Structure 1
């Protein structure tokens, strides 16, 4: 096993979540984790310190280590996704809602600031998307590329880093959304319309098209998750999404 943090942390998180979920959120001890992964307790202790800083775990005096996923921040969501840990229904709703808020603004700024390099990368993504559809393949990876390139076109690096975390956290869910051929075709058509608005520097139209595009995805996840009783109890009533 490669013992670098980048490789070890996702495996460590996956194991902690599995054990803690069946043990009232209590995680294995440092000794148990070291034995399980065949590493030193020093490496485990250092990795646990990172997870504690990310608010994924909490050390409780004379009690042990406890999983605290609900308190985790945005950067933690990306690590959880890499570890194969599914978000709970409320987290999924909030991530989709926040993504929509950010990307509508991104479309406005991109229409004003996109460089020729940004536009050329978007053209390339659209061309590859068309080929994927022709080959009967889903757009779940190219969809992320397209949207993140629009965020990149805002020329705001912090904005790009924040939105990248959203996509890392949602990576597991995207193949579900793009599981139907008609949804791929519709998404590609809407991407093309958004690109045309960006190319014409029409920020108002770009915002409107992005709102409709992401509203459709938000409606899908809301309907899917609404069948979950826990989701229905935890989520306040929201007005219908404009599509």
Structure 2
């Protein structure tokens, strides 16, 4: 645990901020017991009085608590979610699908790129499960559009999860809500579902291969196909899965 700070008048604040970074990054988790004041002083290269000031500041913010016989313990971090902040940005009447797709074109290809760089074994297994479930559903005599739409949403959320950035996951959750009108299950066709599934497979292959450039390209191509149909809908054309 790297807590070294300079020994000056701002040392208590610097130490508190360093501990806050460890809490927000997840290195220190709710319920974790912090080292003793003496150990924290040694780790930070500061006096114990500095440690006490830093802990008091964190305690006032509800980030740590001092418990008799247990020392200082990390508490849950309550911070506003990005998704909650974004949900009110666009009233439903102004949620223009073309603009949302433009947002996705900016965000999701680099996100897939990061997923290829950061995905771990458990994350890849989750991605495979989503694809396998979609494959199974598509193989039924009468595939459930509702089920496939749900798996479509889950695929994009899982890719965001593989990028290992909680804020990106929240953003994709909101984007999924904004694109809900285009996913009306009564407007889906088997052809479009198959096309989307194949595109998902190419994205997953690139992520699994650890190829960020290919993942970026595959996601961009997938979203580009969707944007083209939105821009030039055909009579009776179905809304797109995404």
TM-score bracket for the superposition, by shorter chain length:
0.5 to 0.7
Q: Does 1:74 align with 2:86?
A: yes
Is 1:125 aligned to 2:130, yes or no?
yes
TM-score by length of 2: 0.56
Q: Does 1:220 align with 2:229?
A: yes
Superposition deviation, residue 126 in structure 1: 0.4
**C-alpha distance in 2 between matches for 1:192 and 1:170:** 21
Higher helix share: 1
Match of 1:199 in 2: 208
Structure 2 unmatched ranges of 5 or more: 1-84, 235-242
Deviation of the 1:219 alpha carbon: 1.0
Contact 2:160 2:172 in 1 (8 A): yes
Q: Secondary structure at the match of 2:219?
A: helix
Correspondence for 1:115: 120
Structure-2 residue corresponding to 1:137:
144
Judged with a 3 Å threshold, the aligned counterparts in structure 2 of structure 1 residues 98 and 110 are, in CA distance, closer, same or farther, namely: same
Q: 1: distance between equivalents of 2:132 and 2:204? A: 12
| Equivalent-residue separation in structure 2 for 1:132 and 1:209 (angstroms) | 23
Q: 2:172 aligns with which of 163, 182, 189?
A: 163
After TM superposition, the runs of 4+ consecutive aligned structure 1 residues lying more than 4 A away are none
Q: How does 1:30-109 map to 2 (within 5 A)?
A: 74-76=86-88, 85=92, 87-88=93-94, 91-109=96-114
Deviation readout 1:82-102 (Å, 9 max, x if unpaired):
xxx5x44x7211111101211
Structure 1 residues 201 and 177: CA distance shift in structure 2, 3 A:
farther
Distance 1:212 1:92 in 2: 18
Structure 2 vs 1, CA of residues 74 and 117 (structure 1 numbering), >3 Å: closer, same or farther?
A: same
**1:164-215 C-alpha deviation (Å, 9 max, x unpaired):** 1110122232136961111111111111111111111000011111110010
Q: Quick check: which has more Rg, 1 or 2?
A: 2
| Contact residue 156 and residue 172 of structure 2 kept, 8 A | no
CA distance in 2, matches of 1:97, 1:123: 27
For 1:77 and 1:133, locate their aligned partners in 2 and report how far apart those are by CA, in whole Å: 36
Unaligned 5+ segments in structure 1 are 1-72, 226-243
| 1:45 corresponds to | none
TM-score, normalised via structure 1 length = 0.56
Q: Is the 8 A contact 2:112 2:215 kept in 1?
A: yes
Are the equivalent residues in 1 in contact too, given 2:160–2:168 (CA < 8 A)?
yes
The Cα of 1:74 is off from its aligned counterpart by 3.2
CA drift at 1:224: 2.9
